[in-house]
A and B are shown apart, each in its own frame.
Chain A
Amino acid sequence: MTTPTSAPATGAGAASHPLPPRRRGAGRARRHEGRSGLAMVLPALVLLVLFLVVPVMLAFGLSFTNARLISPNPPRFVGLDNFVRAFTADPVFLRSTVNTFVFALVVVPVQAGLGLLLAVLVNQKIRGVTAFRVIYFIPVVTSIVVVSILWKFMYQENGLVNSFIDTLTFGAWQGTAWLNDPSTALGAIIVLSIWQAVGFHMLIWLSGLQTIPEELYEAARMDGATPWQQFTNVTWPGLRSTMVFVLVTITIAALGLFVQVDVMTQGGPVNSTSTLVYHAVRKGYREMETGYGATISLIFFVLVLVIALVQRFLTRDKD
Chain B
Amino acid sequence: MTTASLDTTGTTPDPGGARPGRRAGGGDHQGERHLRRRRRAWSYLAMSALAVVFLFPLVFMFVSSLKPDAQILGDVDSVRAFLPVGDISLDNYYGVFDRVPVRRFLLNSVLVTVLTVGLGLVVNSMAGFALARMRWKGRTLVLSLVIATLIVPFETIAVPMVYWVSKLPTIVLEGGIPKYDFGWLNTYEVQIVPFIANAFSIFLFTQYFSTIPTSLDEAARIDGAGWFTIYRRIVAPLAGPAFATVAILTFLPAWNQYLWPLMVVQQEELRPVMVGMQYFFQLNTAWGEVMAYTSLITLPVLVVFLSFQRAFVSSVAASGVKG
Contact = CB atoms under 8 A, between A and B. Distances in A.
A300 interface: yes
A150 B57 contact: yes
The winner among B144, B200, B317 for most chain A CB atoms within 10 A is B317
A17 B61 CA distance: 52
Interface string A117-136: 01001101111111011111
B320 A1 contact: no
A74 B277 CA distance: 36
A40 B14 CA distance: 50
Contacts of B47: 121-122, 129, 132
A37 B159 contact: no
15 contacts: A7-B203, A11-B206, A18-B214, A30-B135, A34-B135, A36-B130, A37-B134, A38-B136, A59-B160, A69-B162, A118-B50, A149-B294, A150-B57, A290-B159, A304-B151
Interface string A1-15: 111110110011011
Interface string A31-50: 00111111011011101101
Contacts of B320: 3, 203-204, 207, 242, 245-246, 249
Contacts of B9: 125-130
B144 A12 contact: yes
B51 A132 contact: yes
Interface of B: 2-10, 12, 14-16, 40, 43-44, 46-47, 50-51, 53-55, 57-58, 60-61, 73, 76-77, 81, 123-124, 126-127, 129-140, 142-153, 155-164, 166, 193-197, 199-200, 202-203, 206-207, 210-211, 214-215, 218, 221, 226-228, 231, 252, 255-256, 258-259, 262-263, 274, 277-278, 281, 287, 290, 294, 297-298, 301-302, 305-306, 309, 312-313, 316-323
A37 B160 contact: no
State the main secondary structure of chain B at its contact with A. Answer: helix
A43 B321 contact: no
Contacts of A118: 50
A150 B56 CA distance: 11
B29 to A, nearest CB: 14
B50 A132 contact: yes
Contacts of A17: 210
Contacts of A174: none
B147 A40 contact: no
A47 B263 CA distance: 20
B210 to A, nearest CB: 5
Contacts of B163: 58, 62, 67, 69, 290, 294
A102 interface: no
Nearest to B199: A48
Nearest to A141: B305
A125 B123 contact: no
Given A139-B57, A145-B258, 5 more contacts: A14-B206, A20-B218, A121-B46, A126-B14, A208-B321
Chain A binding surface, main DSSP class: helix
A143 interface: yes
Contacts of B164: 54-55, 58
Interface in A66-121: 67, 69-70, 118, 121
A2 B1 CA distance: 10
A8 B144 CA distance: 7
Nearest to B168: A50
Contacts of B302: 138, 141-142
Contact of A146 (B140, B227, B297): B297
- Looking at B151, B281, B290, B316, which has the most chain A CB atoms within 10 Å of its CB? B151
Given A125-B12, A128-B9, A139 B54 contact: yes
B309 to A, nearest CB: 6
B134 A15 contact: no
Contacts of A246: 320
A281 B159 contact: yes
Interface centre among B159, B163, B313 (most CB of A within 10 A): B159
Contacts of A265: none
Given A38-B138, A300-B156, A143 B256 contact: yes
A52 B153 CA distance: 10
